[in-house]
Amino acid sequence: MRIRDSGMPEESYWETLFDVPLILSKLGIERFGDVAELGCGYGTFSISVARAIRGKLYTFDIDPAMVARTLERRAGLPIIAQVRDVMEQGFDATVDAVLLFNILHCKQPIKLLRYAKDALNDGGEVLVIHWRPDISTPRGPAADIRPDPSQIAEWGLQAGLASGDVIDLPPWHYGMILRSNSTSGCRSG
């Protein structure tokens, strides 16, 4: 099931909308072994994540063309990309972190967060970024369905995840780290 209001613009334009190194640095992506990502898109984040982590990146998208494009760009990086409806089937991986980037405007965010939590190793984290709902942005879902950080924190609690601080990701995004309630720490992959 496609996430509502989640169409992709042309690749060259899409890639201008994110400071990928800044976002990944502020989220501390290099701390992790294996990572899962929902919605690889053109590989905008996938490529940089796979370069930064110590393990494999498992990335899932419902669009076969997006999976094909990410695989085309991977250049020998440890990326396993699959066409998969995560909203219906959950993640097909056990990982240290799950990336939910610009996706929690879906109709069932708590269900998605539970699937993400279920994919985590003990002490794992769900890393979230989203378009800010309080400003006009050049892309993103309609403002009325964009979650604000307090909504994501509440959804995380309902899914069994504790939330950390809100991370400013200028100019159009914010981030959050939701932690599994286990305290044993991440396992490296």
The answer to whether 62 and 1 are in contact (CB under 8 A) is yes
Query: What is the per-residue pLDDT for 4?
Result: 47
List the one residue out of 150, 132, 148, 128 whose CA is nearest residue 140: 132
**How many independent structural domains does the chain possess?**
1
List the one residue out of 31, 34, 24, 6 whose CA is nearest residue 92: 34
Joined together, the tokens standing for residue 45 give 């984040």
In a domain, 1, yes or no: no
Query: What is the per-residue pLDDT for 59?
Result: 97
In a domain, 63, yes or no: yes
In a domain, 157, yes or no: yes
Query: What is the per-residue pLDDT for 46?
Result: 97
In a domain, 3, yes or no: no
In a domain, 49, yes or no: yes
Joined together, the tokens standing for residue 62 give 């419902």
For residue 138, pLDDT over 90 is answered with no
Q: Which domain holds residue 112?
A: 11-180
Q: Give, for 120, the enclosing helix (H) or strand (E).
A: strand 120-131
In a domain, 65, yes or no: yes
In a domain, 104, yes or no: yes
Joined together, the tokens standing for residue 25 give 């640095």
Q: pTM higher than 0.85 for the full model?
A: yes
In a domain, 108, yes or no: yes
List the one residue out of 120, 60, 116 whose CA is nearest residue 85: 60
Determine the Cα–Cα distance for residues 134 and 143; give it in Å rounded to an integer.
8
Query: What is the per-residue pLDDT for 159?
Result: 96
- Average the pLDDT over 157-168 and give the result: 94
Find the CATH number of the domain harbouring 86. Answer: 3.40.50.150
Condensed to tens digits (0 to 9), the pLDDT of residues 21-63 reads 999 999 999 999 999 999 999 999 999 999 999 999 999 999 9
Query: What is the per-residue pLDDT for 17?
Result: 84
For residue 7, pLDDT over 70 is answered with no
Determine the Cα–Cα distance for residues 53 and 59; give it in Å rounded to an integer.
14
